[in-house]
């Protein structure tokens, strides 16, 4: 019988129920892998970290406060493990590898280019901005959940996300991926304004 | 156009990107007149489209097969360590209790006081003074006996001429001194014996009854 709530699932896991443990991993592995892959930008590293994350989750499951949500708690562990992995990787040449990335639906060509540019822009963000951006836009987590996961106030999360979006949008503008008619119009308008001022 | 309108529009952009407001909320009058805000609105629309097109990441493999055995093995090891620690703690407690209780047992204390531990069988080395005293006594005894055995015949010989007093009595030897017999005693005895024989042969003197030894 599948446990309905996270509390029940955790209770069974604490009794070493292999079925419950399997369910917990299956329930969160996609999300954890997504976060790890986006933060680490390397699929093999992400796989290793995901495995480590779940081992740590089960090891620390007794310390989980059932008054809190399980998902942000697991995502918090994932982010911490990613930070540790990044710290270890400082001297190693960084490689970006999205070999296992697959699309749920085939996007149009413009959208694909747009997505690729966003991906590069996100990769260039500051680590904490990147974490917030990934958790919000790719994992669909709320401000409160992100706040719980990375242990920061909601206001800080909002600020970081706003800055992350601004940087990504700036990158899109520089790459000319913002709708041409309006952007060109605006840029032309700006140029005209500047010329008029001169 | 003022700064307040731009700030308000920025909030609208964030709300749209948060998913709280529809994309159409970006088409405001302010955006139509403010180039900066219009550029931001266009970028936000592009960002929204791009985020929707972001590929979902699918785990390349099932982590269950990797994770569960590791976790279960770790749990077993943890349980074993807990049991070992508990056993060690119990053993230590028992030992400590015994160590505290043993010396305070009343029976043990009585037995300890009543029956002292047997002394080891030590062989004392002989004292030099005692050995010397013993050797001296034995020497004196032997000397005395020899002197008596020697002097008795002479005494018998000299009994007739009453020379018994001529033979000095030998003082009983003290245990801590060597015998005090005169070194000339044998010579004197021989001389007396010779005199006695001469007197007897000459016969000038009345013979004295002779005892046979």
Q: Which residues in chain B have Cβ-Cβ distances shorter than 8 Å to A177?
A: 46, 50
How far apart, in whole angstroms, are the C-alpha atoms of residue B11 and residue B30?
13
How far apart, in whole angstroms, are the C-alpha atoms of residue A11 and residue A13?
5
Closest CB to B55: pick one of A102, A108, A190: A102
Closest CB to A178: pick one of B43, B62, B67: B43
For residue B49, give the chain A residue with the closest CA.
A111
User: What's the pLDDT score for residue B113?
Assistant: 57
Can you tell me the ipTM of this complex? 0.72
Q: Which residues in chain B have Cβ-Cβ distances shorter than 8 Å to A107?
A: 53
User: What's the pLDDT score for residue B182?
Assistant: 56
**Which residues of A, range 7-36, sit inside 8 Å of B by Cβ?**
16, 18, 21-22, 25-26, 29-30, 33-34
How many other CB atoms are there within 10 angstroms of residue A119's CB atom?
Answer: 20
Q: Which residues in chain B have Cβ-Cβ distances shorter than 8 Å to A101?
A: 55, 57-58
Low-confidence winner among B6-15, B35-44, B105-114, B196-205 (lowest mean pLDDT): B105-114
User: Chain B contact for A162, CB < 8 A?
Assistant: yes
**Confidence tier at B54 by pLDDT (50, 70, 90):** confident
User: What's the pLDDT score for residue A190?
Assistant: 45
Rounded to the nearest angstrom, the minimum Cα separation between B79 and chain A is 12
For residue B78, give the chain A residue with the closest CA.
A59
User: What's the pLDDT score for residue B161?
Assistant: 56
Phi, psi dihedral angles at B198 (to 5 degrees) = -65, -45
Q: Which residues in chain B have Cβ-Cβ distances shorter than 8 Å to A102?
A: 55-58
Write out pLDDT tens, residues B169-182: 556 655 555 555 55
Mutation site, B27, B38, B43, interface A, largest A CB count within 10 A: B43
- What's the angle, vertex CA B181, arms to CA B140 and CA B152, rounded to 5? 95
Phi, psi dihedral angles at A101 (to 5 degrees) = -75, 130
User: What's the pLDDT score for residue B88?
Assistant: 92
For residue B13, give the chain A residue with the closest CA.
A162
pTM, rounded to two decimals: 0.58
User: What's the pLDDT score for residue A129?
Assistant: 93
User: What's the pLDDT score for residue A76?
Assistant: 93
Size of interface A-B (CB pairs under 8 A): 142
Contact present, B143 and B170 (Cβ < 8 Å): no
> Does residue B157 register a pLDDT over 70?
no
Identify the CA nearest to A34 among candidates A117, A157, A141, A106.
A141
Name A62's Cβ contacts closer than 8 Å, sequence gap at least 6: A14
Residue A162 to residue B72, Cβ atoms within 8 A: no
How far apart, in whole angstroms, are the C-alpha atoms of residue A145 and residue A5?
17
How far apart, in whole angstroms, are the C-alpha atoms of residue A3 and residue A26?
13
User: Chain A contact for B21, CB < 8 A?
Assistant: no
Phi, psi dihedral angles at A194 (to 5 degrees) = -65, -45
Tokens of residue B35, six digits:
């180039």
Closest CB to B71: pick one of A55, A107, A162: A55
User: What's the pLDDT score for residue B138?
Assistant: 85
Residue B71 to residue A21, Cβ atoms within 8 A: yes
Residue B42 to residue A119, Cβ atoms within 8 A: no
Rounded to the nearest angstrom, the minimum Cα separation between A52 and chain B is 8
Residue B117 has what DSSP assignment?
P
Identify the CA nearest to A180 among candidates B39, B17, B30, B13.
B39
What are the 10-residue block averages of pLDDT along chain A, 198 residues in total? 77 88 90 89 88 90 88 93 87 55 52 85 90 90 91 93 92 78 44 44
- Residue ranges of the alpha helices (H) in chain A? 6-14, 18-40, 43-59, 70-88, 109-123, 127-133, 143-150, 154-174, 180-197
User: What's the pLDDT score for residue B184?
Assistant: 63
Residue A172 to residue B46, Cβ atoms within 8 A: yes
User: What's the pLDDT score for residue A183?
Assistant: 45
Domains of chain A: 1-102 (1.10.1740.10), 105-198 (1.10.10.10)
Rounded to the nearest angstrom, the minimum Cα separation between B8 and chain A is 14
User: Chain A contact for B60, CB < 8 A?
Assistant: yes
Identify the CA nearest to A173 among candidates B18, B10, B38.
B38
User: Chain B contact for A4, CB < 8 A?
Assistant: no
């Amino acid at each position: 019988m599948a446990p309905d709530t996270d509390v029940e699932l955790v209770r069974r896991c604490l009794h070493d129920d292999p079925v419950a443990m399997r369910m917990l991993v299956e329930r969160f592995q996609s999300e954890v892998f997504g976060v790890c892959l986006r933060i680490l930008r390397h699929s093999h590293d992400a796989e290793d970290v995901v495995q480590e994350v779940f081992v740590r989750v089960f090891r620390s499951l007794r310390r989980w406060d059932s008054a809190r949500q399980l998902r942000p708690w697991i995502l918090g562990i994932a982010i911490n493990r990613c930070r540790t992995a990044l710290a270890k990787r400082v001297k190693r040449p960084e490689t970006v590898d999205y070999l296992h990335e697959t699309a749920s639906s085939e996007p149009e060509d413009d959208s694909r280019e747009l997505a690729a540019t966003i991906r590069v822009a996100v990769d260039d963000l500051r680590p904490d901005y990147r974490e917030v951006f990934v958790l919000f836009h790719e994992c669909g987590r709320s401000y409160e959940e992100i706040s719980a996961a990375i242990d920061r106030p909601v206001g800080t999360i909002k600020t970081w996300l706003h800055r992350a979006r601004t940087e990504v949008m700036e990158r899109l503008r520089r790459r000319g991926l913002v709708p041409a008619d309006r952007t060109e119009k605006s840029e032309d308008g700006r140029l005209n304004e500047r010329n008029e001022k001169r | 156009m003022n700064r307040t309108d731009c700030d308000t529009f920025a909030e609208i952009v964030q709300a749209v990107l948060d998913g709280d407001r529809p994309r159409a909320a970006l088409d405001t009058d302010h955006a139509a007149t403010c180039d900066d805000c219009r550029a931001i609105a266009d970028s936000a629309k592009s960002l929204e489209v791009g985020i929707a097109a972001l590929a979902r990441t699918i785990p390349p493999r099932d982590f269950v097969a990797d994770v569960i055995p590791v976790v279960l093995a770790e749990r077993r090891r943890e349980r074993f360590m807990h049991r070992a620690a508990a056993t060690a703690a119990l053993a230590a407690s028992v030992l400590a209790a015994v160590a505290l209780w043993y010396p305070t047992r009343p029976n043990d204390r009585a037995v300890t006081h009543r029956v002292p531990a047997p002394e080891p069988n030590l062989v004392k080395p002989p004292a030099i003074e005692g050995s010397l005293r013993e050797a001296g006594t034995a020497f004196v005894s032997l000397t005395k006996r020899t002197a008596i055995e020697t002097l008795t015949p002479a005494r018998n010989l000299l009994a007739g001429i009453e020379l018994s007093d001529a033979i000095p009595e030998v003082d009983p030897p003290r245990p801590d001194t060597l015998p005090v017999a005169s070194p000339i005693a044998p010579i004197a005895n021989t001389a007396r014996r010779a005199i006695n024989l001469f007197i007897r042969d000459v016969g000038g003197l009345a013979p004295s009854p002779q005892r046979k030894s």
